[in-house]
Amino acid sequence: MEKLEFATFGGGCFWCLEAVYSKIIGINSITPGYSGGSIRNPTYEQVCSGDTGHAEVIQMSFDPKNMAYKTLLDWFWISHDPTTLNKQGGDIGTQYRSVIFYQSEDQKKIAYESKKNVEAEGMYDEPIVTEIINLQEFFPAEEYHHDYYRKNPDARYCTYIIKPKLYKLKLE
């Protein structure tokens, strides 16, 4: 019987992160949602207002025997710009911040080590502003956000933002 773990990351629009991680073999499931805010069960509209403190995130389940948490972090660092505060491209606001929500002391340690290594490698010219904080709660997003890119490949955001990102990362 496999023992699944969870990883929760925010790096801009959850549609983008979900599209990237959906191409990675070894992830059991991905759920877009909201974390890090002050109200329970927020709606998309509430989160978009920027008043709840929530970030758009994805929560993935994975079997640590088949996928290392560090590997998920490696993809995290290259799938968005961790140097822009509360902004990814045209998506602006605290809901689009770069954040790692750890769920164990082991994940916390690995996340800090990973961030330190990325900084030491000089992967980015600017300082990394990614928050690393303990996950308190995760609230799944409304159903129409789930698997958005696969269901809406010709939508404007998918065509101009997600598809080029997937090509850049050699995932499509």
CATH code assigned to 5-168: 3.30.1060.10
Question: Would residue 117 be called left, alpha or beta, if left means φ above 0 and alpha means ψ between -120 and 50 degrees?
Answer: alpha
Residue given tokens 């990675």 in the structure block: 24
Find the farthest-apart pair of alpha carbons in the chain and give their distance in angstroms, rounded.
Answer: 44
Q: What length does the chain have? A: 172
Query: Pairing state of beta strands 55-62 and 5-11?
Result: antiparallel
Q: Please state the pTM of the whole predicted model.
A: 0.96
Question: Does the pLDDT of residue 1 top 70, yes or no?
Answer: no
Mean pLDDT of the chain: 96
Instruction: Determine the average pLDDT of the residues in 147-164.
Output: 96
What residues does each domain of the chain span? 5-168
Convert the pLDDT of each residue in 30-66 to its tens digit: 999 999 999 999 999 999 999 999 999 999 999 999 9
Catalytic residue set: 13
